[in-house]
Structure 1
């Protein structure tokens, strides 16, 4: 899959990224409420990630969007960011691309002067949790902030 590249999201990517995220959530039998599925900004991620301290990256071959992940400030904090909406289509999973995306996001977070990175995920997304652990994330006993993702009951944190 050498033809795949990670690049910043573009406005034209919006509908394709939203479709990809919803498809992955449906594939994983995730609840539609309390997850990214119903986020108000899901259909306008390009616009949402225009803040200086935020970014969203897509994995693409130039035609199709195969995955994506974003970094944005955790509400109410200037030193903790959140890894957001990291999803990949099944056909690209297990090829090391998630680790490349994670590195891109964490490098961005550190360059933006964040000190910690938080994430929330579903308990059933075990492969994702393994990737997060390999990237330095540890489990937390309780959630940080108020993301609105009440169905995501696994919380993790990476301190740089």
Structure 2
């Protein structure tokens, strides 16, 4: 995919979300998203340096694992969702990673579209 996909929204939802491949520069935005999701759960502490060092070069990390990472962003470029797929060509197994959605995007079918994107990419 070279551009971004526009994700249609139901009435009352955020009016514009774009799905695009992640770039290494997205690490801070993805970090902010994950931290906000962790903050919704008591006792869940986000430690980027200790647990998520791959966010410093997130696109390269997924490519190195024969995978891809995508982000969902709003009209202002704020990352509101992310997900990745890592693929093992020897076993032909894939695993979803880093599946996070901002609370404002939940219940609107965005996660279903993310999964559909992963399945399409896997072929």
Provide the TM-score with structure 2 as the length reference: 0.73
Aligned to 2:16: 3
Aligned to 1:66: 80
Tell whether the 8 Å contact from 1:18 to 1:43 is kept in structure 2 after alignment.
no
Aligned to 1:97: 110
The list of structure 1 runs, each at least 4 consecutive aligned residues, that deviate by more than 3 angstroms after superposition, is: 29-33
Aligned partner of 1:12 among 12, 25, 29: 25
Aligned to 1:49: 62
**Which stretch shows the higher mean deviation, 10-19 or 94-103?**
10-19
Provide the TM-score with structure 1 as the length reference: 0.57
Deviation of residue 19 (structure 1)? 1.7
Q: Deviations over 1:21-47 (max 9, x none)?
A: 1221221336448xxx81331333122
Deviation of residue 50 (structure 1)? 2.2
CA–CA distance in structure 2, aligned partners of residues 85 and 22 of structure 1: 12
Q: Deviations over 1:132-157 (max 9, x none)?
A: xxxxxxxxxxxxxxxxxxxxxxxxxx
Considering only aligned residues, what root-mean-square deviation do their CA atoms show, in Å? 2.5
CA–CA distance in structure 2, aligned partners of residues 26 and 106 of structure 1: 30
SS of corresponding position for 1:70 = strand
Are 2:36 and 1:23 equivalent residues in the alignment? yes
Higher percent of residues as helix: 2
Aligned to 2:4: none
Tell whether the 8 Å contact from 1:32 to 1:38 is kept in structure 2 after alignment.
no
Unaligned runs of 5+ in 1: 112-160
Aligned to 1:84: 97
Q: How many residues align?
A: 106
Aligned to 1:156: none
